[in-house]
Amino acid sequence: MHRRLFMILLVLAFVVVACGDDAATTTTAAPTTTVAPTTTTAGEEVTLRWRTRPDNDQEAGVYRAVSETLDGQLEGITLVYEPGGTETEGYQQALLTQLAGGTAPDVFWIPGADIAQFVGARVILDLRSYADASGHRDADFYPGPMEQLTTDPATGLPGNVLWGLPRDVSAFALYLNLDLIAEAGAADPRQLAAAGDWDWEAFQQVAEAVRALGPDIYGYGQSSWWGPVGFWANSGGGGFFNEDRTACGLDSPGSLAGLAFVQDFYATGAALTYGEDPEPVFKAGNMGMFQNGRWATPGIRTVGFDWDVVKLPDGPGGPSNWLFWGAYVVNANTPYPEQAWRLVQALTTAEVQAQVAELGANIPSRVSQAALDAFLTFTPPENNQAFLDGLAENPVTEAPLWNGDWPAYRDAMQVAVDAVIRGETSIEAFRADICAQLNQYFTP
Amino acid sequence: MTQAPIELEVKLPSAPSPSQPLWLLAVVVWQTVLALAMVAAAVAMVTGALFDLTGLGLVLMAGLALAIAVASGTAVPLMLRHRHSGRAIGVMLDYLVLVLAVFITLQAIGVFRGLDALGATFRRAVPLLAIVILGWLLLGQAERFGSRAERVRRAGKWVMIAGAAAVAVRAGVLPGLAEFFVRLAKPRALLPALVAVASGLAFWSLRRSRAVWLFGSRRHQEEALDGFLFVSPNLLGFAAFFAFPLLFSLFVAFTAWDGLTQITWLGPDNFTKIFSLQFATVDAGQSASDVLKFGYSELARFGSLIVGARDPAFWIALRNISLFAITAVPLAVIPAIGLAALLNTKIPGVRLFRAIYFIPSVAGVLGVALIWKQLYNASVGFINYGLRRLFDLINLLPGVEATAPQPQWLSSRSVALWSIVIFFAWYTVGFNTVLFLAGMQGIPGTLYEAAEIDGASPWQKFRKITVPMLRPTTFFVVATTTILALQVFTEPFILMGPQLPPSGPSNATLTPVVHLYQEGFRRFNQGYASALAWVLFLLIFAITLVYFRRQRKSEAGMG
């Protein structure tokens, strides 16, 4: 009998202790339905949970440090940072499950291309009224992301709404193995870019010269997701969509020119086989040019050869790049929307963005000169300006389809484009079918 | 031989007593209140006054409330007539309401989320556990102290109690207690707590021996009730974590749902989409989109005949998984028999080899897949490097000049699936070997001895004794490996990503589970993903059924 009583007391003690800890860390219950904002009295401390997607443990550590700093700075707010997994560790899947279960954090990060999905599902809050009251200016951030973050889902056009603020931005560049390029006797792409001669032709010449160094040496490598492929279409003067993003644009002459170039280029054998992971090959010193975003910089900093970056080559459509981004948004179910907005603002100040960008993986999303100047000091690479050029020269903003199903479009497009680059589908056959196939993913 | 149950006849009052016991009246009042409250709750839900529910959520919650109301309302007159059925309904209902109310109370208080963080709090108190351990040691070693054993035992007990109290205090039991009552005092926690107390008291009243006597319950009825209550934790767990999700996924399969917004009923549309095919002929100069209906994409082309599908990915996944299973299962099973035969001998170091072959099965598939991903890298991977070095050696031979093959293991659409097959077979063969080894060690040695006397060779013994006697093991191994193969997901997911989608180059490694994952979690089509899951389940079920039938026939043939 005593033993049973002891066990019961033990279980009850655990239950009670669990409450004690929860009281110290959490005050936001897990609502299953939309709740009215909670009015807090002066001096009342509220606890906010927030999460972002770091690319690695080091970055997760920086966000934890940011959270601790802001915890001391934000009056009346206690912060609980919940590190999210990386992209491959199912960040979005975990977030989706938590949203469905009503246990998502008060503030969380989402990729730019997912914004329409979250707005459509009404799981994130329109922050416009809080922003207006706090003196926020949309113009302080890159216009591309802000256009998406102020889009009214009813019209698909910018309106008087605000869904969040961009955490950071990124763009592609070509990571260069300067040792290989010098050994091949090819022109330095950075000098070509400075002289305005860095175009597709020059790019191909450098790649082929490096490839000629040996059977295991490759001139160029890119990952096979929609970003690198999209660059060639954009750079050719086309793109994934038509002008107002209401229909497929892959059969446009510009898109086809880009795809034709990349198909021919791969056929020369100068590039690493499409679909192979280029990063280990580049880091092993066997690749001349590796196309990737700023997020690859921390990993590249560990290589043992002389390297730098250069902007992507100009195509017939002129200079082009992507503007990748993600945003901090506020859970529609948070009981403390005003405090959550203050947290979003605090997480996107120039100071915090500089703190994160110093790691090398991100570019501040603020367009202030101070933020950009600070970014340029985060070397290597020496030529950080290449990323800023990518963001300044006609970039295409990563964006959702407000009137369509981007994930379905993306996956179907990927298979078709891959077949073109591998040479399994001719450009003509691609042109004939692609848009009829993809237009089904737009909402009439 | 079974013994007939002994039935104890107890007094069976057939009519309501003129004066009911007070406790029974209290229980009846509670059941009445519960029934009325549940009716009111159902009405409030339907009118939107309680919760903001629509669709399935409304049907489920209002249905649950009405079911409780009906059960409770039915129990009341039966209880007043002292019928056992009334008591049985009351016991089961109050038990379920008690469990539900406790769960809701704990959720409202925030205990479940607190438990997540308990690790951090409890860590503070871990050093104090030494006091508890000291008390436990004193208690256990008390006999060594001879005449002072009882005092030592008592001292040990108090040291343990003091240690436990210190642990609780250090872990935060006092602020926890205060917070517990503060939260309990809030209506959303207090109301279910009161319901829990009321249903708990009713349950306790109806389970007491005087209730058994009053309701004239017989022993077998009482035993049945006990039985249900004893298995209830398992039943409730099964219902909550297996049966309900399973049925819910079946329901979702007939809907359009992204996991976040309202569920929309579609009927069989998801299944229709999965299986929709269109056959058309295409003339020269025409493209697939010229002849296929809107929503259909080209799946295959045979001369001028074109096959379109509304979901070509499903058919591609089906083709891939068929090829995968046909090759991966034999590769994971046949070598396992050979390896088991080798490991079943008494050669030196055989135990070490048994461990070595089993290591892949012990290692996590995710970690091992990451290593294979590096091995498979066509440019800087060890496999192609090994091939190059091997051919360098071969080329040292006079007159030989061969070029080392450098397969694009993961990026070539004609090779990628076979890379997954090799990895799967490597990963699975060790576990299958252990199963076969266990099967072989169960074969009576006398059979081999008799065969040896008859002059059988080792091969003949293997073919005529080992293989037939392993039939049940083989059946099990083949069935489980086939099921594993049909559900393959982690291997393509890790090997292909992140530079390729898990569907691989040109969908070469797209499997049904990868497809349903992409639909459910990348495209947010939970309804369609559920439909795919059910189709996959039926496929696996059908194949397993065929295996079972063949096994039975085979056993009947042997018998």
**CA B438/CA A370 separation, integer angstroms:** 70
- Among the partner-chain residues A286, A414, A415, the one whose CB lies closest to the CB of B379 is A286
Q: Which residues of B413-433 are buried (b: 16+ CB within 10 A; e: fewer)?
A: bebbbbbbbbbbbebbbbbbb
Task: Inspect the interface and report whether the beta carbons of A21 and B176 lie closer than 8 Å.
Answer: yes
- Among the partner-chain residues A10, A87, A280, the one whose CB lies closest to the CB of B377 is A280
Q: Omega into B335 within 30° of 0, i.e. cis?
A: no
Structure token digits, residue A338: 């005003």
A277 and A359 in a single domain? The answer is no
Task: Inspect the interface and report whether the beta carbons of B176 and A18 lie closer than 8 Å.
Answer: yes
pLDDT exceeds cutoff 80 at A424:
yes
**CA A65/CA A364 separation, integer angstroms:** 17
A146 and A59 in a single domain? The answer is yes
* Interface with A, mutate which of B380, B414, B518, B525 (most A CBs under 10 A): B380
- pLDDT in the model for residue A94: 85
Nearest CA-CA distance, residue A100 and chain B, Å: 5
Q: Are A164 and A330 in contact (CB under 8 A)?
A: yes
A309 located within any domain: yes
A131 and A220 in a single domain? The answer is no
A338 and A372 in a single domain? The answer is yes
pLDDT exceeds cutoff 90 at A370:
no
A35 located within any domain: no
- Establish if A214 touches chain B: CB-CB under 8 angstroms: no
Residue in B closest to A18 by C-alpha: B114
Task: Inspect the interface and report whether the beta carbons of B287 and A88 lie closer than 8 Å.
Answer: no
Chain A partners of B312 at a C-beta cutoff of 8 Å? none
**CA A398/CA B112 separation, integer angstroms:** 39
- pLDDT in the model for residue B117: 64
A287 and A419 in a single domain? The answer is yes
Task: Inspect the interface and report whether the beta carbons of A286 and B413 lie closer than 8 Å.
Answer: no
Q: Given pLDDT bands bounded at 50, 70 and 90, which one contains residue A88?
A: low
Please tell me which residue, B198 or A358, carries the higher pLDDT value: B198
- Among the partner-chain residues B118, B289, B522, the one whose CB lies closest to the CB of A436 is B289
Task: Inspect the interface and report whether the beta carbons of A275 and B411 lie closer than 8 Å.
Answer: yes
pLDDT exceeds cutoff 90 at B356:
no
- Among the partner-chain residues A18, A93, A284, the one whose CB lies closest to the CB of B111 is A18
- Rg for chain B, CA atoms, rounded: 33
A105 and A200 in a single domain? The answer is no
| Per-state percent for chain A, helix, strand, coil, to nearest 5 | 45, 15, 35
Task: Inspect the interface and report whether the beta carbons of B408 and A276 lie closer than 8 Å.
Answer: yes
Task: Inspect the interface and report whether the beta carbons of B115 and A14 lie closer than 8 Å.
Answer: yes
- Among the partner-chain residues A21, A414, A437, the one whose CB lies closest to the CB of B121 is A21
- Establish if A223 touches chain B: CB-CB under 8 angstroms: yes
**CA B136/CA A7 separation, integer angstroms:** 15
Q: Are B84 and B213 in contact (CB under 8 A)?
A: no
- pLDDT in the model for residue A61: 85
Chain A partners of B179 at a C-beta cutoff of 8 Å? 19-20, 22-23
Structure token digits, residue A287: 């690749």
Nearest CA-CA distance, residue B15 and chain A, Å: 39
Nearest CA-CA distance, residue A195 and chain B, Å: 33
- Among the partner-chain residues B180, B379, B500, the one whose CB lies closest to the CB of A16 is B180
Phi-psi region of A433 (alpha: psi -120 to 50; beta: other; left: phi over 0): alpha
Task: Inspect the interface and report whether the beta carbons of A23 and B111 lie closer than 8 Å.
Answer: no
Please tell me which residue, A108 or B355, carries the higher pLDDT value: A108
End-to-end, the C-alpha distance of chain A in Å comes to 71
- Tokens 């199963």 belong to which residue? B435
Report, as an integer, the average pLDDT of A401-413.
90
- pTM score, two decimals? 0.80
A424 and A353 in a single domain? The answer is no
Residue in B closest to A429 by C-alpha: B287
- Tokens 């890298």 belong to which residue? B377
- Among the partner-chain residues B106, B260, B505, the one whose CB lies closest to the CB of A99 is B260
- Among the partner-chain residues B110, B373, B506, the one whose CB lies closest to the CB of A22 is B110
Q: Please state, for a pLDDT cut of 70, what percent of chain B lies above it.
A: 94
**CA B315/CA B297 separation, integer angstroms:** 12
Beta strand ranges found along B26-132 (DSSP E): none
- Establish if A275 touches chain B: CB-CB under 8 angstroms: yes
- Establish if A408 touches chain B: CB-CB under 8 angstroms: yes
- pLDDT in the model for residue B531: 97
pLDDT exceeds cutoff 50 at B13:
no
pLDDT exceeds cutoff 60 at A197:
yes
**CA A359/CA A59 separation, integer angstroms:** 7
**CA A31/CA A39 separation, integer angstroms:** 16
**CA B371/CA B359 separation, integer angstroms:** 14
- pLDDT in the model for residue B389: 93
Q: Are B478 and B334 in contact (CB under 8 A)?
A: no
Structure token digits, residue A77: 């707010």
Pairs of residues, one from chain A and one from chain B, whose beta carbons lie less than 8 Å apart: 190
Chain B partners of A21 at a C-beta cutoff of 8 Å? 114, 117-118, 120-121, 172, 176
Residue in B closest to A221 by C-alpha: B499
A357 located within any domain: yes
**pLDDT tens digits for range B201-231:** 999 999 998 899 899 888 899 899 999 999 9
CATH number of A62's domain? 3.40.190.10
Q: Please state, for a pLDDT cut of 90, what percent of chain A lies above it.
A: 65
Residue in A closest to B374 by C-alpha: A280
A177 and A293 in a single domain? The answer is yes
**pLDDT tens digits for range B122-179:** 778 888 889 989 999 988 888 888 888 899 999 998 998 899 889 888 888 888 788 8
Nearest CA-CA distance, residue A314 and chain B, Å: 24
Task: Inspect the interface and report whether the beta carbons of B506 and A87 lie closer than 8 Å.
Answer: no
Report, as an integer, the average pLDDT of A53-60.
80
Residue in B closest to A285 by C-alpha: B380
Task: Inspect the interface and report whether the beta carbons of A15 and B497 lie closer than 8 Å.
Answer: no
Question: Residues B393, B397, B400, CA angle at the centre, nearest 5°?
Answer: 100
A285 and A365 in a single domain? The answer is no
A342 located within any domain: yes
- pLDDT in the model for residue A358: 82
**A58: containing domain:** 46-168+324-392
pLDDT exceeds cutoff 50 at B1:
no
- pLDDT in the model for residue B558: 60
Nearest CA-CA distance, residue B207 and chain A, Å: 19
**Virtual torsion, Cα B325, B331, B337, B341, nearest 10 deg:** -170
| Per-state percent for chain B, helix, strand, coil, to nearest 5 | 75, 5, 25
**pLDDT tens digits for range B77-129:** 999 999 999 999 999 999 999 999 999 998 888 877 666 666 667 778 888 88
Helix A2-25 and helix B149-171, axial crossing angle in degrees, nearest 10: 20
Q: Are A280 and A200 in contact (CB under 8 A)?
A: no
Task: Inspect the interface and report whether the beta carbons of A433 and B115 lie closer than 8 Å.
Answer: no
**pLDDT tens digits for range A165-191:** 999 999 999 999 999 999 999 999 999
- Among the partner-chain residues B51, B109, B120, the one whose CB lies closest to the CB of A21 is B120
- Establish if A273 touches chain B: CB-CB under 8 angstroms: yes
A407 located within any domain: yes
ipTM reported for the complex, 2 dp:
0.80
- Establish if A30 touches chain B: CB-CB under 8 angstroms: yes
- pLDDT in the model for residue B457: 92
A264 and A362 in a single domain? The answer is no
Residue B523: closest CA among A408, A123, A110, A95: A408
pLDDT exceeds cutoff 80 at A43:
no
| Residue B536 main-chain phi, psi, to 5 deg | -65, -40
Q: Given pLDDT bands bounded at 50, 70 and 90, which one contains residue A26?
A: very low
A154 located within any domain: yes
A30 located within any domain: no
Chain A partners of B498 at a C-beta cutoff of 8 Å? 87-88, 223, 225
A364 located within any domain: yes
- pLDDT in the model for residue B523: 82
- Establish if A52 touches chain B: CB-CB under 8 angstroms: no
Phi-psi region of B99 (alpha: psi -120 to 50; beta: other; left: phi over 0): alpha
Q: Please state, for a pLDDT cut of 70, what percent of chain A lies above it.
A: 91
A176 and A210 in a single domain? The answer is yes
Q: Are A378 and A97 in contact (CB under 8 A)?
A: no
Residue B307 DSSP SS3: strand
pLDDT exceeds cutoff 50 at B39:
yes
Report, as an integer, the average pLDDT of B272-279.
96
Q: Which amino acid is at A35?
A: V
Q: Are B11 and B216 in contact (CB under 8 A)?
A: yes
Chain B partners of A111 at a C-beta cutoff of 8 Å? none
- Establish if A26 touches chain B: CB-CB under 8 angstroms: yes
Residue in A closest to B506 by C-alpha: A415
Which stretch of B13-27, B232-246, B509-523 has the lowest confidence by average pLDDT?
B13-27
A272 and A419 in a single domain? The answer is yes
Cα-based distances in Å from A60 to A56, A63, A73, A84: 6, 5, 20, 8
Task: Inspect the interface and report whether the beta carbons of A278 and B499 lie closer than 8 Å.
Answer: yes
- Establish if A81 touches chain B: CB-CB under 8 angstroms: no
**pLDDT tens digits for range B387-428:** 999 999 999 999 888 888 999 999 898 999 999 999 999 999
**CA A143/CA A397 separation, integer angstroms:** 9
Specify the number of domains making up chain A. Answer: 2
- Which of A376, A392, A408 is a domain's end point? A392
Q: Given pLDDT bands bounded at 50, 70 and 90, which one contains residue A46?
A: very high
pLDDT exceeds cutoff 70 at A36:
no
- What are the counts of helices (DSSP H) followed by strands (DSSP E) for chain B? 26, 5
End-to-end, the C-alpha distance of chain B in Å comes to 28
Residue B256 DSSP SS3: strand
**CA A6/CA A28 separation, integer angstroms:** 33
Task: Inspect the interface and report whether the beta carbons of A284 and B380 lie closer than 8 Å.
Answer: yes
- Establish if A89 touches chain B: CB-CB under 8 angstroms: no
Tell me, what DSSP letter sits at residue B434?
Answer: H
Residue A328 DSSP SS3: strand
Chain B partners of A276 at a C-beta cutoff of 8 Å? 377-379, 408, 410-411, 499
